[in-house]
Amino acid sequence: MAHAAHAETAYVPPAEVPDVELYHPKTFLGKYIWCQDAKVIAIQYAITATAIGLVALVLSWLMRLQLGFPESFSFIDESSYYQFITMHGMIMVIYLLTALFLGGFGNYLIPLMVGARDMVFPYVNMLSYWVYLAAVLVLVASFFAPGGPTGAGWTLYPPQAILQGTPGSGWGIILMLASLALFIIGFTMGGLNYVVTVLQARTRGMTLLRMPLTVWGIFVATILALLAFPALFVGSVMMMLDRLLGTSFFMPAIVEMGERLQYNGGSPLLFQHLFWFFGHPEVYIVALPAFGIVSDLISTHARRNIFGYRMMVWAIVAIGGLSFIVWAHHMYVSGMNPYFGFFFATTTLIIAVPTALKVYNWVLTLWRGNIHLTLPMLFSLAFIITFVNGGITGLFLGNVVVDVPLSDTMFVVAHFHMVMGVAPILVIFGAIYHWYPLITGRMLNEAMGRFHFWVTFLGAYAIYLPMHYLGFLGVPRRYYEMGETMFVPESAHFLNAGMSVVALIVGFAQMVFLFNLAWSAFKGREAGRNPWRATTLEWQTHESPPGHGNWGPALPVVYRWAYAYGVPGAAQDFVPQNLPPDRVATAADVDHEGVRGVAVQPAE
Amino acid sequence: MVVALILVLVAVGSVAFHLLSPWWWTPIASNWSYIDHTIIITFWITGVVFVAIILFMAYCVFRYRYRKDRRAEYEPENKKMEWWLTGLTSVGVAAMLAPGLFVWNQFVSVPEDAAKIEVVGEQWQWSFRYPGKDGVLGTTDPRNITPENPFGLNPNDPKGQDDVLVQGPEARLPLDKPVKVLLRAKDVLHDFYVPQFRAKMDLVPGMITYFWITPTRTGTFDVLCAELCGLGHHVMRGKVVVEPESEFQAWLQEQPTFAQSLARAGTGTPDINLASSEGGSEPLERLLK
């Protein structure tokens, strides 16, 4: 209690935060379609991302069918297999995870959590969504273009990506690059909004070190994205020029199938550097919001303050900074100067220290807590396990010499699925179970939720843990079929078939989740105000679910940090951020009536 | 209770899978057992941390499960504990990084006396070149590549005339001799990958990349492409035969030199580029159509 940042009634700055003139929709279209309210934009982002994510899910089924049961499905040939893996990867990383965390959760939660009425540039925010939608549509169009979508792998490495030997080297790659460029333009509009809103539109008393970690995670991730995406943008434009105008940014002198091409003097490695200068921060663009959100879920559902809040904030910032000097650990066997390995292995392993600290602090938040095993808590526990597992295998791949045998094998596939596929998606699920009552006013169905949780967590773990061992064996990634080798035993094929069956089951569980989302919106139990008894501002709005402008007549004033759970002396085990100190009921007060200002609800 | 139990089972099950499953690395055939050792060190350190964290979590879930009359302890920070954890983690990370960098230093330091072999990749086949009697590989340029000169050797470079060309899918290496493997691609990225050697490296058009190994075991090993290179990526196979020096030399003598193959091409028997079809499998031919 001696720490200034956490004192119960620290100094509140006197300056009034000027209220803003809001955009007021006049028509149905203005309210739900061409809408400038961040909450509606968030839902639009989320629905679009989920829809395209379903495409990625189906693609993963198809590729698992091929891997588990090669030569069984005539409709999956080499072309379509490579197209499936490429589009699955690109959709999941960019169009689902990035869009959902930043465009979805960022839009919904930032204004509500910092006490703003909306994003600072609502019109640009609206444009951001529509450009994102255009990017998705262009991406989808490539499925119907002549030659189909690109099959260059999600990393799109040239020269291969734009040459004949790769499926979709005509329309496919052009549409892919165009879609990426659009996505980045759209994201930049949204991203500027998130950053400026956090910096400029926080309500009175909401200092930076009182912000919930969710906001910190999304804030730092957005800064990373604003700095990293331009590298992908120029890479895409340059490759487009190589493809359409015959420039040679990434193309050296090449003899393709015996025919000498007109390219000369370019560098394929240059693209890889640009791609991974974006691509590695991208890992943290997905991970940092997940870190932030899961911190809040754990704290709320364990009824305990997050452990080491300031350390958590600095860890997010440190990870964000370091993520810009580790990119070439994706390129240890790319043929770049091998002496780079010393530098990038060192920076990569250093990043493990702040990351490990975050894990310790999550677990230490559970320690001496009062843990409700709600769905958000279950997903958070599962996140910790899968994230630790995936982080640990990152220490293998980051340590340059260990990467050499494992690089380009199924070990890599298992690693990145565990750490930036399964783990962040578990957080997304936890977050949806947590905030769905805020958005819709109803709780998600508990039974369906528990089915969804156990199948998803245990199933995903059962798929990806064994997959690492295929990598040890030496099974390369991106193989349409293993064919004959002298080193892959028959039992490995059996393992592959098993993983495919589990993948189909896990995919089915997501259908139950989607049904739950739709069903509970109408039939779910009424949530009431602040069903989780959380401290953060989004649960303390004038009306619930929060209406246009969020706060009714007056902006909230913040008196304390976001983690006042279990404060000694307080009547309830949580004290909302905006509850004035003189109205915090002590244990003695409660003997009378309900306490004003605090949502008095029976514990579950 | 049930949740805590399942968490424990996940930890125990992961360790059991690691110890009992039949899938582990293929027996090594090169000097890079150092890499395997570094992996084992990493496994021990990270494995202990993984199990410790999950078991502690399971303990918390059980011990601090919700009770109506309980309050969580309010303890925003514990500086001392956080610094201890930072310190211990740093030590663990250093214990993995130090041997890693030590071995990497060996990996990037090619022995002076290493023999040379060049691996050439193209969609979707391998070919190989040995430096010949002078021990020097002749210069190449993609502009020289023709059906008669598939390696793109410079016809005017005297050092290239005695280079031994192997246009098939099978290379040979002498046992216990360090060899620097030089890598060159004609069209797109490839990756020369022999699982038993542990070492691998991309082939990049426009540049020469390399790694080095000392084969330590005789035998025939699969060569795979480990960098996505288009439709035929998975059928881009070859073989490496490691054999005693004398047998290797005898085999090498039988292979045509650049000068010989040019002369033969001049007389209308360009056998070397036809030899490539030996490596082609049925699916490769289907793809090439």
Contact B39 A388 (CB under 8 A): no
Given a cut of 80, whether residue A593 has pLDDT beyond it is: no
Q: Does A582 lie in the same domain as A438?
A: no
Rg (CA), chain A: 25
pLDDT at A3: 46
Please state the rounded mean pLDDT for residues B49-77. 93
Exposure string of A543-566, with b = 16+ CB inside 10 Å and e = fewer, is ebebebbbbeeebbbbbbbbbbbb
pLDDT in tens, A214-223: 999 999 999 9
pLDDT at A588: 58
- The answer to whether the beta carbons of residues A160 and A263 sit under 8 Å apart is no
| Residue with more model confidence, A16 or A481 | A481
- pLDDT higher than 80, residue A149: yes
Determine how many CB atoms are found less than 10 A away from the CB of residue A207: 14
Residues 6+ apart with CB under 8 A from A527: A437, A438, A440, A441, A442, A443
Interface predicted TM-score (ipTM): 0.92
Find residue B203's DSSP bridge partners.
B190
Beta strands in chain B, from DSSP E residues, in sequence order? 115-122, 125-130, 164-166, 170-174, 179-185, 190-193, 200-203, 209-213, 219-225, 238-243
Residues A522 and A573 in one domain: no
Specify whether the CB–CB gap between B21 and A469 falls below 8 A: yes
Q: Which amino acid is at A409?
A: T
Indicate which of B231, B277, B281 best probes the interface with A, i.e. most A CBs within 10 Å of its own CB: B231
Considering only CA atoms, which of A137, A44, A52 is closest in space to residue A90? A52
Contact A520, A441 (CB under 8 A): no
Q: Does A569 touch chain B (CB under 8 A)?
A: no
Chain B residues close to A458, C-beta within 8 Å: 6, 10
Residue-by-residue DSSP string for A324-372: GG-GGGG-TTTTS-TTHHHHHHHHHHHTHHHHHHHHHHHHHHHTTS-B-
A489 touches chain B (CB under 8 A): yes
Check CB contact of A371 with chain B, cutoff 8 Å: yes
Nearest CA in chain B to A346: B97
**pLDDT of res. A124:** 95
Average pLDDT value for chain A: 92
Residues 6+ apart with CB under 8 A from A199: none
Backbone φ and ψ for A360, nearest 5 degrees, come out as -60, -45
- Per DSSP, B146 falls in state -
Task: Select the residue of B14, B142, B204 nearest A253 (Cβ to Cβ).
Answer: B142
A560 domain-assigned:
yes
Residues 427 through 456 of chain A touching chain B, CB cutoff 8 Å: none
pLDDT over threshold 60, residue A454: yes
The helix/strand/coil state of B124 is: coil
Residues A291-316 pLDDT 10s: 999 999 999 999 999 999 999 999 99
- What's residue A603's pLDDT? 37
Q: What percent of chain A has pLDDT over 70?
A: 94
Nearest residue, CB atoms, B205 vs list A254, A474, A563: A254
Split into its structural domains, chain A has a count of 2
pLDDT recorded at residue A265: 92
The reply to whether residue B42 touches residue A353, judged by beta carbons under 8 angstroms, is: no
Chain B partners within 8 Å of A402 (Cβ): 35, 38-39, 42, 100
**pLDDT given at position A583:** 87
Share of chain A above pLDDT 90, in %: 85
Of B82, B200, B287, the CB nearest to A308: B82
**Domain termination residue (choose one: A526, A560, A584):** A526
Q: In this predicted model, what pLDDT tens digit does every residue of B81-118 receive, in sequence order? A: 999 999 999 999 999 999 999 999 999 999 999 999 99
CA angle A282, A285, A289 (to 5 degrees): 155
Shared domain for A469 and A505, answered yes or no, is yes
Answer yes or no: is A420 within a domain: yes
Quick check: A367 and B64 CB within 8 A? yes
| CB nearest to A473's CB, from B25, B82, B205 | B25
The answer to whether B129 touches B234, Cβ cutoff 8 Å, is no
Distance from CA of B142 to the nearest CA of A (A): 6
Q: What is the pLDDT of residues A205-214, one digit of tens each?
A: 999 999 999 9
What band does A13 get if pLDDT is binned at 50, 70 and 90?
Answer: low
Contact between chains at B226 and A157 (C-beta distance less than 8 A) = no
End residue of a domain, out of A495, A526, A557: A526
Q: Give the closest of A165, A350, A470 to B123, CB-based.
A: A165
Strand, helix or coil for residue B126: strand
Question: Are A382 and A495 part of one and the same domain?
Answer: yes
Let me know whether A474 and A594 are in one domain: no
**Would you say residue B219 has pLDDT above 90?**
yes
pLDDT mean over B192-219: 96
Contact: B206, A371; criterion CB under 8 Å: no
Q: What is the pLDDT of residues A398-442, one digit of tens each?
A: 999 999 999 999 999 999 999 999 999 999 999 999 999 999 999
CB A238 within 8 A of CB A181: no
Q: Any idea which of A8-12, A35-39, A118-122 has the lowest mean pLDDT?
A: A8-12
Q: Residue A87 and residue A58: Cα distance in Å, rounded?
A: 11
> Is any Cβ of chain B less than 8 angstroms from the Cβ of A78?
yes
The answer for A77, left when phi > 0, alpha when psi is -120 to 50, beta otherwise, is: beta
Q: How far off is chain B from A191, nearest CA to CA, in Å?
A: 31
Asked whether residue A570 falls in the same domain as residue A458, the answer is no
Q: Is A307 touching B (CB cutoff 8 A)?
A: yes
Interface test with A, best of B33, B53, B67, B79 (most A CBs within 10 A): B53
What is the per-residue pLDDT for A275? 97
Look at residue A34 and tell me if it is in a domain. Answer: no
- Model confidence at A604, pLDDT cuts 50, 70, 90, reads very low
pLDDT tens per residue across span A258-279:
889 999 999 999 999 999 999 9
Please give the radius of gyration of chain B, using alpha carbons only, rounded to the nearest integer: 27
Same-domain status, A413 and A469: yes
- pLDDT the model gives residue A28: 73
Distances (CA, A) of A280 to A330, A439, B124: 8, 33, 30
Q: Average the pLDDT over each of A237-241, B151-155, B275-279 and give the range with the smallest value.
A: B275-279
Quick check: B72 and A470 CB within 8 A?
A: no
Provide CATH 2.60.40.420 ranges for chain B: 115-281
Furthest C-alpha separation in chain B: 97
Domain that holds residue A561: 535-604
Q: Do residue B60 and residue A363 have CB atoms under 8 angstroms apart? A: yes
Question: Are A152 and B203 in contact (CB < 8 Å)?
Answer: no
In a shared domain, residues A478 and A557: no
How close B29 gets to chain A, by Cα (Å)?
Answer: 12
CB-CB: which of B73, B76, B141 is closest to A6?
B76
- Residue B272 pLDDT > 60: no
pLDDT over threshold 50, residue B273: no
- What's the CA angle centered on A108, arms A106 and A111, to 5 degrees? 85
Q: Which of B187, B201, B272 to mutate to test the interface with A (most CBs of A within 10 A)?
A: B187
- Are A154 and A86 a contacting pair, CB within 8 Å? yes
Question: What average pLDDT does this structure show over B227-237?
Answer: 95
Amino acid at B159: K
Q: Between chains, do A160 and B78 touch, taking CB under 8 Å as contact?
A: no
Q: B75 and A346: CB-CB below 8 Å?
A: no
SS (H, E, C) B192-220: EECHHHCCEEEECCCCCEEEEECECCCEE
| Cα A189 from chain centroid (whole Å) | 18
Residue located via tokens 């929060």: A546
Cβ burial of A479 (10 Å; 0-12, 13-18, 19+) is buried
pLDDT of residue B94: 94
Q: What is the DSSP letter of A604?
A: -
User: Is residue A79 included in any domain, yes or no?
Assistant: no
A521 and A389, same structural domain? yes
Instruction: Name the amino acid, one letter, at A398.
Output: G
Neighbours of B271 (CB within 10 A): 11
Residue B288, pLDDT score: 52
Amino acid in the structure at residue B66: Y
Global model pTM greater than 0.90:
yes
C-alpha B13/C-alpha A564 separation (Å) is 37
Q: Which of B21, B64, B145 sits opposite A255 (nearest CB)?
A: B145
Which CATH code fits B115-281?
2.60.40.420
Alpha-carbon A291 to chain mean position: 9
Q: What is the largest CA-CA distance in chain A?
A: 90
Identify the domain boundary among A526, A549, A565. Answer: A526
Cα dihedral across residues B108, B112, B113, B116: positive or negative: positive
* Contact: A160, B196; criterion CB under 8 Å: no
Of A474, A478, A565, the CB nearest to B72: A565
A547 and A493 in a common domain: no
Task: Give residue A31's pLDDT.
Answer: 74
Q: Is A345 on the interface with B (CB under 8 A)?
A: yes
Instruction: Give A123 to chain B, closest Cα distance, Å.
Output: 40
pLDDT at A563 over 60: yes
The per-residue b/e assignment along B202-219, b for 16 or more CB within 10 angstroms, e otherwise, is bbbbbbebbbbbbbbeee
Kindly state whether residues A491 and A545 are assigned to the same domain.
no
* Residue A364 contacts residue B57 (beta carbons within 8 Å): no
- Name which of A26-30, A339-343, B213-217, B224-228 the model is least confident about: A26-30
CB contact under 8 A, A6 and B39: no
Interface touch B42/A388, C-beta < 8 Å = no
A471 in Cβ contact with A517 (< 8 Å): no
- A486 in reach of chain B (CB within 8 A): yes
Rounded to 10°, the helix A490-523/A423-440 angle is: 10
Cβ <8 Å between B229 and A373:
no
The whole-angstrom separation of Cα B141 and Cα A253 is: 9
Q: Percentage of chain B surpassing pLDDT 90?
A: 82
Give contacts of A405 with chain B, Cβ < 8 Å: 25, 32, 35, 39, 195, 198-200
**Interchain CB contact of A497 with B (< 8 Å):** no
Q: Are A534 and A578 in contact (CB under 8 A)?
A: no
Q: Choose the closest CB to A339 out of B81, B85, B108.
A: B108
CA distances to A24, A317, B171 from A292, in Å: 32, 12, 53
Q: Take residue A170 and report the two structure tokens written for it.
A: 């005509």
CA distance A252 to chain B (A): 5
Taking CA atoms, B216 is separated from B105, B128, B177, B178, B246, in Å, by 20, 20, 8, 10, 16
Between CA A410 and CA A121 the distance in angstroms is 44
The reply to whether A554 and A509 lie within a common domain is no
Question: How many residues make up chain A in this entry?
Answer: 604
- Name B210's bridge partners: B182
